[in-house]
Structure 1
Amino acid sequence: MTTPAETTLDMRGLRLHLPGAARPVLAGIDLTVAERETVALVGESGSGKSLTSRSVLRLLPPGATTEGVIAVQGEDVLAMNAKRLRHLRTHTAAMIFQDPRAAINPLRRVGDFLTESLRLNADLSDDTAAERAARMLDAVGLGERVLGQYPGQLSGGMLQRVMIASALMGDPALILADEPTTALDVTTQAEVVGLLDDLRERFGTGLLFVTHDLGLAAAISDRVYVMYAGRIAETGPAQAMFERPRHPYTAALLRSTPRLATPQGRLAAIKGQPPSLREELTGCPFAARCAFTTPVCTEELPPHVPVRSEPTRLVACHHSDELADQLAESALHD
C-alpha cells in the first residue's frame, strides 16, 4: 500500500450522480496511484471505468454531481476554482483518450496541437514550446519532422504516440490512459503499452490505465482495481489477483479471457447483463449474475474487507474466504 507522501492520486468515497439515474453511477470509489506506479482499472463496458478517470480532471457529463474527495498531489480537485483546474489539466495531470483521431483536429498541424496549451497557459514563447514538443516526440519515438505534418498523414499508432507526447508536454505527475490501445492492432498495442511503461519510469509519472483487456492489465500494472456497476469489487497486486481471484466477478472475467492453452470452442461468458442505471440496487451488485449467490447477497451490500493473510488486497464479497479455492480453480478452467 502507498503512503500519503508517495501518493499522486488519492480518491476516497467518490460518488457520482447523473440526472434521471436511480442510483449513483459511481458508488463510493476508493482508489490510489503512487509515483511511478501503474494501476489498472478493469471491468465490462458501462461499469464506470472511464467516468472514474475523467472525474480526476472534472470532465463530467452535464448535470453530474459529485461527493467525496479526489486529491491529486494533495490538492482536492472537486474544490478547485477555474484557474487551479486549468493548471491541473495542463500541468499536473493529463488524459490519453481512446481514439486519437477524435482527439486531434485534422485541419491543424501536429506541432500546433502539441504547443497550443503551453503557449496559452504557461506563457511560453513559440520557440520554447516547439523545442519541448520536439523533445517529447523524440521521447515517444517520433522525429521532429512530425511537427509539420497533419494527422491524416500519420498512422493510428503514430497518432497515439502523438497523444502520449501531448500528455507529457506539461510534465504531469499523473497520466490517465482511457483504453489507449483499443483502436490499434495487436503489434501496435504492445508497442504503446511498452512505451507507456518506459515513460512512466523515466519521468516518474503515476499511471492510471483503464482497460477491459485483462491481458493488458496483467502485462502493464502493479496493482489492479476490478470494477462492476460503479463499485470496486476487488483490488490488489496484479499477479496475486490474476493467479488467485477472490471475487466471483474477477474469476468470471478471467474465465472468459482467451488463452492459447484452453480447448477450442466458445469462450465462457458471464450470464445476464450488468444492472441498469434505471433500477436501484440492494445487496451485492453482482448477485443476479453470480453462481454462488445466497440470500445475504441479495439483501446486504458486502463491505470491502482485507483478504485473509493478504492485507494489501481488498474484496467486497460475503463469501470470499469460503469460495477461495473454487474461484481460483474456476478462473483457470471453462
Structure 2
Amino acid sequence: MNALDIQGLRLRLPGTARPVLDGVDLAVGPGETVALVGESGSGKTLTSRTALGLLPPGAETSGTVLVDGEDVLTTDGRRLRALRSGRAAMIFQDPRAAINPLRRIGDFLTESVRLAGGASAADADRRAAELLDAVGLGPELMRRYPGQLSGGMLQRVMIAAALMGDPVLLLADEPTTALDVTSQAEVVALLGRLRERFGTGLLFVTHDLGLAAAISDRVYVMYAGRIAEHGPAADLFEHPRHPYTAALLAATPALDATPGRLSAIDGQPPDLRRELTGCAFAERCAYATDLCREEAPEIRRGAACHHPLEGSRTDG
C-alpha cells in the first residue's frame, strides 16, 4: 500500500473559470522520496495540502486522495484529526511562523501526542527527547523558547515534531527556502537519513530542480494544475520528454554552464479566470501545433505531450 495515492484529483475554487488542480495523479511509496516541482502557482503546495485535508474555503473536489489507504476527501473530522496527529504530517516553509514563540520547545513537540491521548506526559517527553537526538539536537532544548534557536535548529525541531506520531507520510513544503545554504544541506541530508531510519514516505515540494535531483527517487513536474511529466529522477533530468521540463532545466543555474544570460520561458502561466483548452503549456511552447491548442494530451511514457522530445526513457 502506498503512503500517498492521489487519483484524478480535481479542485475548483470560487471565482475561477477552470480547476486549480485538474486531474492530478501522484503516488508516494513507503520509504520513498518523491519530488513535486514546478513554477510558483503551479499547484504544488495545494496538492500536498490536500493530503491533510487542508483545503481552501469554498473548495470543490473530486477524485481520491488516499493516505495509508484512507480517503482524506471523504473522511469525517474526527478521523481527519487523528490522521494529522499520527499517519501524516507536514513540514512548512518557515519554522518561525509555524511554532508559537511563547511556548517552550518541549510543549510544542508533545502537544499533538498529548491531545490525541495516545501517550502519557512522561512517554511523550521521552519520545520528544529521542527525536531531538535523531535530528542532531540535545534534549536540553526541551526547555528553551523558539527565539533562542537559529532557523536551522527550528527546522530540525519542525522535523522532530512531524515525526512524533510515527507518520507513514511526511509532506515537506519547500522546507529549506528560509534557510542559509549550509543549513539547507544539513536539513536535506537529515531528511534522507530519517526516511531510511523510519521508513516514512516523503513528498518533497520544491521549485529547485537541483535539490529535487539530489534528494528524490522519482519526480513529478507540475504546470497549471496538471502533471506535465513524471518518472525516475535520474532519467527525467537526463532525458526530459516534456518541453516544459526541458525549459525548466535550461533555466536552472549550473556551475559548469557557459557564461551568459540564463535561458527563460517566454510568456505567463494560464490565467485561472479563463477556461483552458488543449495543452496548458501550448502558448509558451516552441513545439506547439493546432492539435496542442485544441486537445489536452494524455500522459504517455511519462509525459503529457503531443510532441514529446526524443529520449531513452521507457517509464509509463
TM-score range, shorter chain: over 0.9
TM-score by length of 1: 0.92
Letter aligned with residue 62 of structure 2 = E
Distance in 2, matches of 1:146 and 1:265, equals 47
Partner of 1:152: 147
1:201-212 equivalent positions in 2, closer than 5 A? 201-212=196-207
Distance in 1, matches of 2:268 and 2:155, equals 32
Q: How far off its partner does 1:82 sit?
A: 1.1
Partner of 2:77: 82
2:280 to 263, 282, 285: 285
Q: How far off its partner does 1:127 sit?
A: 1.4
2:175 to 176, 180, 183: 180
Aligned residues: 313
Deviations 1:89-114 (A, max 9, x none): 00000000000000000111111101
- Tell whether 2:307 aligns with 1:319: yes
Partner of 2:12: 17
- Tell whether 2:266 aligns with 1:241: no
- Tell whether 2:122 aligns with 1:127: yes
Partner of 2:225: 230
Distance in 2, matches of 1:194 and 1:11, equals 27
Q: How far off its partner does 1:123 sit?
A: 4.0
Partner of 1:45: 40
Partner of 2:211: 216
Q: How far off its partner does 1:263 sit?
A: 1.6
Letter aligned with residue 288 of structure 1 = E
Q: How far off its partner does 1:122 sit?
A: 2.7
Residue 324 of structure 1 aligns to a residue whose secondary structure is coil
1:59 to 42, 49, 54: 54
Distance in 1, matches of 2:85 and 2:96, equals 20
Distance in 2, matches of 1:61 and 1:223, equals 28
TM-score by length of 2: 0.97
- Tell whether 2:138 aligns with 1:143: yes
Q: How far off its partner does 1:124 sit?
A: 2.3
Deviations 1:194-233 (A, max 9, x none): 0001000100100000000000000000000000000000
Partner of 2:112: 117
Q: How far off its partner does 1:74 sit?
A: 1.1
1:171 to 166, 169, 174: 166
- Structure 1 segments unaligned to the other structure (5+ residues): 307-313, 329-334
Distance in 2, matches of 1:219 and 1:122, equals 38
Identical aligned residues as a percent: 70
Distance in 1, matches of 2:282 and 2:172, equals 30
RMSD, matched Cα: 1.2
Letter aligned with residue 160 of structure 2 = A
Distance in 2, matches of 1:19 and 1:65, equals 9
Residue 85 of structure 2 aligns to a residue whose secondary structure is helix
Partner of 1:26: 21
